[in-house]
Amino acid sequence: MALFFSQYFSLLVFMVLSIVFSCIFFFLSYAVATQKADTEKLSAYECGFDPFNDARNTFDVRFYLVAILFIIFDLEISFLFPWAIALGDLSIFSFWSMIIFLFILTVGFIYEWKKGALEWE
């Protein structure tokens, strides 16, 4: 049990300090910063429509589609980084598993492209 605490004590200290500093900085930002609305914050965002008061207002579903496509194709590509770093130590099964994964990802991308999901107009 003592070995467990000696190995993870520095991690525990790091987590406690990070939580304490995060709370301090969070509450200090409210104490120091001014709380009035800025014209830049009330202007149209990158998506092109003005901010609205009611969260239940409808807006174009293409924003959801772009977000979902970003999650699918951008975050799954992040699986390539650990694979590329450990490529020299992997077996042939691991190599072909990633090739199959990339093939399925490419087929999904081509499907979305052919269905017109990437077209804005």
Domain ranges of the chain: 62-121
Q: Phi-psi category of 119—alpha, beta or left, where left has phi over 0 and alpha has psi -120 to 50? A: beta
Q: Global pTM?
A: 0.47
Q: Which amino acid is at 68?
A: I
Residues contacting 9, CB < 8 A, separation 6+ = none
What's the pLDDT tens digit per position in 43-56?
666 556 665 666 66
Can you list the positions of beta strands (E) in 1-121? Answer: none
What's the pLDDT tens digit per position in 65-108?
778 888 877 888 888 888 889 888 989 999 999 899 889 988 98
How far CA 50 is from CA of 6, 45, 57, 58, in Å, comes to 54, 7, 12, 12
